[in-house]
Structure 1
């Protein structure tokens, strides 16, 4: 029983997760990677309290993220995984002033989401996640990096798993910087693409598609997927609908159904319980099952005609009128 109690204490503790996030926010993994320093030396540089910093460094040492040397604290190989240039996306996920790291702070109000079914993000920050991104360009940039990091791991599987060439013109709705669309077009030279995303992100997509020699085969529209969409042979919604409640999911699907007779929805069909809570707290969204998507789509005259697993955790649902 004591073992079980300790296990629950370990599972519910906030100290270690917050210590790691604060370390990233202060830039400690990078600062201490090649220049060891003591808390007294670091405190004025970071504009923090030296005693409090020493306590933080002590816990990070216990975790194996940093180590003590004669010259002061130094980042370990393990701790280097938290660095800004580590290439794994962790720094961007944990930093308090990134989109994901900031949003996770709303978990302190999870009880609000459970009681109301609404996201906790607006309660903590005064407005919704997407409104926050629109008003703070650095958050939008951090979110785009997060999506690019995630997509880069999946692109080869997604391109190979589905017959994209059946769509002469593919409208990538909420397509980010266009890395997936670019890969699909490179694999199928006869296709054209049209990407739609908010203007700040669309600007990055134009640059990426131009740099990959796809400017002549693509168009990029800066705008919202709640507004009328450009016409195409198929509309692609990759990891879009789980960010939204049913009301807004219907609005997005309605725009896609107006623009095309084929709608391709890529989602996780019943993801992890942890991910569902993230969607709830951040956006008021959730993962859905196959029948949930069929129900949503049917209101817009769309019928499921095929399912294709495109990554280990993602399935492409093909709907047609």
Structure 2
């Protein structure tokens, strides 16, 4: 019984998660990686209270992400994984002034989401997640980097696991900086691509396509997927898009794809088909969305005259659902 109580206490505690997030936000893992320092030395530099900082560093030492040396506190190898250049996405996820780190703080109002079915993000920040990204470019940039990091290792398997070459042109709807579309085009020289995303992300996609020598086969349009989409695509791709939205807005996105779809065209939806309870709560609190099961997608699609043609397991737990009229 005591073990179970202790386990529940550890699971419900906020101290350690917030200590790690504050450490990342202050830049401690990088600052102390090769230059140990005491709390009193660091405090003026970071503009924080020295006693409070010493308490934070003490807990980070208990966690094993810092250690106390003769010269002061130093980042351990474990703590180095929280560094900005560690390449694992943790820093971008935990920093309180990035899109994900900021959004996670809305979990303090999870009860609002459970009571209403609506996101908690606007309760904390006064407006929705996507509005914040539109108004604060550094949040948009952090979000795009987070998405790139999430799919980076999965892209080769997604490209290899589906017959993309049968489509002359794929329109990547909400394609971010274009990492997936670039990989698809590179593997299929006879294809063309057209990426649509808000201008801040579209600019990054243009640069990526130029960098990979794909600018002659990859067109980019800055705009919202709630507005009319470019015509001329044989397939309209929604990669990790619909889970970010409630059913009402998911219908609006699908309607735009169908509106642009030619006879014989396809809508390709790549999503995880349910199964991750923690991620579902993240989608709810951040956006009011969720991962859906196949029958949920069938129901959404049927309202737009679409039916499932095939379901292909691709990578990272994701499935590619191909819809046709």
SS in 2 for 1:29: helix
- Tell me the equivalent position of 2:13: 13
For residues 49-81 of structure 1, what are the alpha-carbon distances to aligned partners after superposition, in whole Å with 9 as ceiling and x for unaligned? Answer: 000000000000000000000000000000000
* Aligned ranges 1:233-272 → 2 under 5 Å: 233-260=234-261, 261-272=265-276
Task: String of CA shifts for 1:105-131, please: whole Å, max 9, x gaps.
Answer: 000000000000000000000000000
Distance, in Å, in 2 between the alignment partners of 1:241 and 1:166 is 24
Moved over 6 A (4+): none
Which one is further off, 210-219 or 63-72?
A: 210-219
Question: What residue number does 1:70 align with?
Answer: 70
The normalised TM-score by structure 2 is: 0.98
How far apart, in 1, do the equivalents of 2:316 and 2:134 lie? Answer: 32
Distance 2:30 2:38 in 1: 15
Q: Secondary structure at the match of 2:154?
A: helix
- Which residue pairs with 2:287 in the alignment? 283
Offset at 1:312? 3.6
Matches within 5 A, 1:53-202: 53-202=53-202
How many Å separate the matches in 2 of 1:165 and 1:34?
49
Q: TM-score, normalised by structure 1?
A: 0.99
Structure 1 residue 270: Cα displacement: 0.7
| Cα distance between partner residues in 1 of 2:215 and 2:156 | 21
Q: CA deviation at 1:205?
A: 0.3
Once the two structures are superposed, residues 139-158 of structure 1 have per-residue CA deviations (whole angstroms, 9 ceiling, x without a partner) of: 00100110111121111000
Aligned to 1:47: 47
CA distance in 2, matches of 1:192, 1:296: 28
- Please give the secondary structure, in 1, of the residue aligned with 2:216: helix
Deviations 1:22-43 (A, max 9, x none): 0000000000001100000000
SS in structure 1 of the partner of residue 171 of structure 2: strand
Q: Give the distance between the partners of 2:280 and 2:149, measured in 1 at CA.
A: 20
Q: Distance in 2 between matches of 1:271 and 1:83?
A: 30
In structure 1, list runs of 5 or more residues that go unmatched: none
Structure 2 distance, partners of 1:77, 1:31, is 14
Q: In 1, Cα distance between the equivalents of 2:215 and 2:59?
A: 51
Distance 1:151 1:269 in 2: 16
Q: CA RMSD in A?
A: 0.6
Structure 1 residue 271, shift from structure 2 partner: 3.1
1:218 CA drift (Å):
1.2
What does the per-residue CA deviation read over 1:237-269, in whole Å, with 9 as the maximum and x for residues that have no partner?
000000000000000000011112310000000
Distance 1:86 1:188 in 2: 32
Alpha-carbon distance in structure 1 between the residues aligned to 2:193 and 2:24: 38
- Alpha-carbon deviation of 1:90? 0.3
| C-alpha separation in 2, matches of 1:187 and 1:271 | 31
Cα offset, 1:134, TM superposition: 0.4
Mean CA deviation greater in 157-166 or 252-261: 252-261
Q: Secondary structure at the match of 1:92?
A: helix
Match of 2:25 in 1: 25
Task: Point out where structure 2 has 5 or more consecutive residues left out of the alignment.
Answer: none
Q: Confirm whether residue 314 of structure 1 aligns to residue 315 of structure 2.
A: no
SS at match of 2:291: coil
